[in-house]
């Protein structure tokens, strides 16, 4: 059974709520407008316009993390950070099982352009 992803309210959204006008109705309207036009990057937690979010498959995350791990000397029993953010309670043994599950590998997560480029940049060894 695949664990359920966990979503948290990032710091930027909490800050937005503090800076909103005093009236609850105005805060609600501002938050609805902000949420309608923006979405959160699961990797960095930044709110960005929805149009610039990119779908990133777990397959890409796992494959590129394997290359990065080799280049940077990261321990083999490490879960990619973005996977850990989506599934904070995921144990390494369960992760090893999921890596061979094609259905899970083709699931996607939305990330901003900067994170997409950072995660998918292939190291030349």
Domain boundaries, the chain: 1-125
Cα–Cα distance, 81 to 90 (Å, whole number): 11
Cα–Cα distance, 83 to 101 (Å, whole number): 15
**Per-residue pLDDT, 125:** 45
- Phi, psi values for residue 94, rounded to 5°: -70, -40
**Whether pLDDT at 103 is above 50:** yes
Query: What is the residue-averaged pLDDT of the chain?
Result: 78
DSSP annotation of 123 reads: P
How is residue 116 written in tokens?
Answer: 């997409």
Strands, E assignment, the chain: 38-40, 47-49, 54-57, 108-111
User: pTM of the prediction?
Assistant: 0.67
**Per-residue pLDDT, 1:** 54
């Amino acid at each position: 059974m695949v664990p359920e992803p966990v979503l948290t309210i990032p710091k930027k959204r909490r800050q937005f709520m503090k800076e909103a006008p005093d009236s609850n109705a105005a805060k609600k309207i501002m938050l609805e407008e902000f949420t309608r036009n923006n979405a959160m990057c699961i990797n960095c937690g930044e709110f960005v316009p929805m149009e610039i979010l990119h779908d990133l498959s777990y397959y890409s995350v796992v494959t590129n993390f394997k290359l990065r791990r080799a280049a940077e000397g990261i321990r083999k029993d490490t879960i990619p950070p973005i996977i850990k953010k989506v599934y904070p309670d995921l144990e390494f043994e369960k992760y090893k099982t999921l890596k061979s599950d094609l259905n899970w590998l083709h699931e996607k997560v939305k990330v901003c352009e900067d994170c997409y480029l950072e995660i998918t940049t292939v190291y030349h060894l």
